[in-house]
Structure 1
Amino acid sequence: MRYGSVCSGIEAASKAWEPIGWKPAWFSEIEPFPSAVLAQHWPEVSNLGDMTKIADAVRAGDVEAPDVLVGGTPCQAFSIAGLREGLSDDRGQLTLSYVELANAIDAKRRERGETEAIIVWENVPGVLSSKDNAFGCFLAGLAGESSELQPAGGKWTHAGCVSGPERVIAWRVLDAQFFGVAQQRRRVFVVASARKGFDPAEILFEQDVGSGSTEANNVGVERRSSTVDNCTLYRFRRTDSYIDDGVSSTLSARDYKDRRELVVMADNRVRTLTPLEYERLQGFPDGHTLIQYGEKLADDAPRYKAIGNSMAVPVMRWIGERIAAALPAEKLSGDYGGSKTPPDQRDLWRTPPALFASLNDEFCFQLDAAAAPHNALCRKFITADQNTLETLWADYLNVPGYVWLNPPYSDITPFVKKASAESRNQIGTVMLVPADTSVGWFREAIETASEVRFITAGRLAFINPVTGKPVSGNNKGSMLIIWHPYPRTHCHFATVERDELMTFGAKLLARREAA
């Protein structure tokens, strides 16, 4: 599963979902210090910045349409601290931009024949009672209704579910103190999706009372973790007093100005909590925000603010684990699980003609080793019925020579083995595959291949096998694995820009058309 994160902050979602194997496709954060934290911990992930521009980029295919969209749009517009300006506040309008982005992602995924995304959203409970019915507007946007939804009984309850033309939506208020951290932090979480067979209510509502992670199910159950040894947490109350119940008050972004959370040490000395203790109260690893910021280590103030603005990691992990458990296991015959295209179409996507033309100018391909009569890129080709894995390629070309191979992505490994074997017969192969270095076939390929070229600065728009039209927004980048028809010394790694390849290929095609 790959997810896009908006209002990313210091990425509680990423720390929560790393253990279940989910990967970030992109982040969206504009604040300087959280952006620096993202760059420190996830340097390979793009930070797209302004979230209001992402929907158009997704529609254009310049930004990946991921499996999951997660984020907590600014809560100030919905909270008492934000004067309850609601959707009239610019920050509240980001909530509507979030809906627009969710719709753009689903539209692109449908265009590519993929299942719709799963939406995860977090906010303060105050959103349920804002004077402008902001939550009803948000629900209506996600559900696809033309007018805002109204709560039964005059106010939104702390848990519920609605269904509309676009999506099914469930919401629930969860408190972090019942998920393993010593912080009283109540937040409303929304899970929504248009996927068939996926029920958001099953994610947020447990059926087996007594085994879940809810407040009602955990009364009397000690699940909290201390912040430091030999200390007692005192929680601030509205009466300007403190209570010793082992739980801190809710951490907030304003704490860098007014830290009222206290810890009484064993020798009765009173002090404020440290940024390290704030990280622990949110479930982050120690030192997550202690980064090089400018020419020195980050000051405490931006750390307090970023941690207070974030989500509780254990709550997000619980939600992610329940989503993962609810998804059907997809059985693949190979070790590449990146495609959500229907199985009958998954292996039929065609190579962009301009890309092939550019590479053909370099390698002079004699054979398309995995093709059909209607989409073969060379005069000589091997069909599925002929089984390229069992066919001698030397019967189709003059040796030494090169073969073009865009293999079925559902099972790449045997094609890697085939290309490796044919290279010993002075037959070179240029293979177009997903840019995934974590899979077994990549490790096997670089043991015998001469070169790996990563196609950078954009993703390829493959040709839809049904419509015959290019479809942008490919979920992964691409790379070329090259076996030369002569002995190798090592595997060389290089990059080539997508637009450079495509522009050169388009010129070649235009010249051919004009001839």
Structure 2
Amino acid sequence: MKITNILSLFDGISCGRVALDRIGIEYENYYASEIDKYAIKIAQSNFPDTIQLGDVKNWKEWNLPQIDLLMGGSPCQGFSITGKQLNFEDPRSKLFFEFVDILNYYKPKYFLLENVRMKQEYQDIISNYLGVQPIKINSALVSAQNRNRLYWTNIPNISQPLDKGIILKDVLDGDESIENFINYFDIMKPVNSKSNRVGIIGKGGQGDRIYTTDKKSVTLMAESGGRGAKTGLYLTGEKTVRMLMPNECERLQNLPDNYTEGVSKAQRYKMLGNGWTVDVITHILNNIK
């Protein structure tokens, strides 16, 4: 299949382009709007021919040709159930309306918008603007990561992906390969839980919870605190508790190893927490006719 021009808003590290290439969709031009210099660096290192457009708020100056596919994941921190629920008054959430304006102006054949789970009232507002209801897909079906997301699209016949049955330990490196290893085992407090949590450190805040590797990981986060920071902490050996490494996080997002190499580890974690799970996107885009 071939389409001519693709426009990716809030492009990040171009997970959408990885998905397009993985399923063999041919295209002539890939336009990207992104303002994070580190994300742009990673996108360009993997796809040097990406046409970077800059800030989405300046879209009226772009003068692009007809767009066939518009996709984006507008910043979600203002909507997230796990966040402060700042909704449409949050400046980041207002960027959703830039997506709507661009959609109405270019009238692409296909569009795809990704966002987090949110209050029903916010979800309904987005659905009313886009004219479609979202499909909820958990990345756990195609990855070792629990990551529930909503996808609004006019691409037809989207079903749930088949469950690949991957668990976290399937994508982990051996502990002997981990640099700057920190062992929290001696201060871990075991917990009796029906979830995948096996222990806590201190008071057990979100970043201080310890999980098994025999199930799915928790959701990668761009913004999070505690010892587990953006990946969670995991009991990976008899006396080993650690964070996930960037390569392991790349696998949770179905990206090639070292895809985000070239920036600091902190930036890699942030970008991967903001990114898309590639195989979910390939599943959706596979229905383009």
Same fold (TM over 0.5): yes
Q: CA deviation at 1:90?
A: 1.2
Out of 11, 29, 33, which is 2:34 matched to? 29
Deviations 1:119-156 (A, max 9, x none): 10100011x43xxx33222222223xxxxxxxxxxxxx
Other-structure match for 1:464: none
Flag the structure with larger Rg: 1
In 2 relative to 1, CA 249–263 (structure 1 residues): closer, same or farther, beyond 3 Å?
A: same
Q: CA deviation at 1:255?
A: 4.6
Q: 1:252-291 alignment to 2 at 5 Å?
A: 252-255=221-224, 258-259=229-230, 261-266=232-237, 268-291=239-262
Do structure 1's residue 95 and structure 2's residue 103 form an aligned pair? no
Q: Residues 252 and 308 of structure 1 are in contact (CA less than 8 Å); yes or no, is this contact kept in structure 2?
A: yes
Other-structure match for 2:275: 310
Which gives a bigger RCO, structure 1 or 2 (Cα 8 Å, sep 6+)? 2
Q: CA deviation at 1:272?
A: 1.2
Q: Residues 29 and 35 of structure 1 are in contact (CA less than 8 Å); yes or no, is this contact kept in structure 2?
A: yes
Out of 13, 18, 21, which is 2:21 matched to? 18
Q: Distance in 2 between matches of 1:302 and 1:229?
A: 21
Do structure 1's residue 228 and structure 2's residue 172 form an aligned pair? yes
Q: Residues 146 and 219 of structure 2 are in contact (CA less than 8 Å); yes or no, is this contact kept in structure 1?
A: yes
Q: Residues 99 and 138 of structure 1 are in contact (CA less than 8 Å); yes or no, is this contact kept in structure 2?
A: no
Deviations 1:88-143 (A, max 9, x none): 1111111111000001111xxxxxxxxx42110100011x43xxx33222222223
Q: CA deviation at 1:84?
A: 1.2
- 1:31 maps to amino acid: D
Other-structure match for 1:47: 52
Q: 1:262-411 alignment to 2 at 5 Å?
A: 262-266=233-237, 268-291=239-262, 298-323=263-288, 327=289
Q: CA deviation at 1:235?
A: 4.8
Q: Residues 182 and 248 of structure 1 are in contact (CA less than 8 Å); yes or no, is this contact kept in structure 2?
A: yes
- 2:254 maps to amino acid: G
In 2 relative to 1, CA 229–37 (structure 1 residues): closer, same or farther, beyond 3 Å?
A: closer
Secondary structure (helix, strand or coil) at the match of 2:134 reads strand
Do structure 1's residue 138 and structure 2's residue 109 form an aligned pair? no
- 1:21 maps to amino acid: I
Secondary structure (helix, strand or coil) at the match of 2:105 reads helix
- 2:113 maps to amino acid: W
Other-structure match for 2:109: 117
Secondary structure (helix, strand or coil) at the match of 1:287 reads coil
Q: Distance in 1 between matches of 2:128 and 2:151?
A: 16
Q: CA deviation at 1:171?
A: 1.6
Other-structure match for 1:189: 151
Q: Residues 256 and 302 of structure 1 are in contact (CA less than 8 Å); yes or no, is this contact kept in structure 2?
A: no
Secondary structure (helix, strand or coil) at the match of 1:75 reads coil
**Structure 1 stretches of 5 or more lacking a match?**
107-115, 144-168, 193-199, 206-211, 292-297, 328-515
Secondary structure (helix, strand or coil) at the match of 1:271 reads strand
In 2 relative to 1, CA 100–254 (structure 1 residues): closer, same or farther, beyond 3 Å?
A: same
Secondary structure (helix, strand or coil) at the match of 1:253 reads coil
Q: Distance in 1 between matches of 2:284 and 2:269?
A: 25
Q: CA deviation at 1:260?
A: 5.6
Other-structure match for 1:295: none
Other-structure match for 2:218: 249
Secondary structure (helix, strand or coil) at the match of 2:18 reads helix
Q: CA deviation at 1:268?
A: 3.1
Deviations 1:299-352 (A, max 9, x none): 2100100000001011011111122xxx1xxxxxxxxxxxxxxxxxxxxxxxxx
In 2 relative to 1, CA 265–90 (structure 1 residues): closer, same or farther, beyond 3 Å?
A: closer
Give percent identity, aligned residues only: 26
In 2 relative to 1, CA 242–267 (structure 1 residues): closer, same or farther, beyond 3 Å?
A: closer
Q: CA deviation at 1:241?
A: 5.4
Q: 1:499-510 alignment to 2 at 5 Å?
A: none
How many residues align? The count is 254
Do structure 1's residue 176 and structure 2's residue 139 form an aligned pair? yes
Secondary structure (helix, strand or coil) at the match of 1:137 reads helix
Q: Distance in 2 between matches of 1:256 and 1:240?
A: 11
Other-structure match for 2:12: 9
Q: CA deviation at 1:57?
A: 3.6
Secondary structure (helix, strand or coil) at the match of 1:138 reads helix
In 2 relative to 1, CA 201–253 (structure 1 residues): closer, same or farther, beyond 3 Å?
A: same
- 2:171 maps to amino acid: T
Secondary structure (helix, strand or coil) at the match of 1:184 reads coil
In 2 relative to 1, CA 251–270 (structure 1 residues): closer, same or farther, beyond 3 Å?
A: same
Q: 1:394-473 alignment to 2 at 5 Å?
A: none
Q: Residues 26 and 48 of structure 1 are in contact (CA less than 8 Å); yes or no, is this contact kept in structure 2?
A: yes
Q: Residues 56 and 98 of structure 2 are in contact (CA less than 8 Å); yes or no, is this contact kept in structure 1?
A: yes
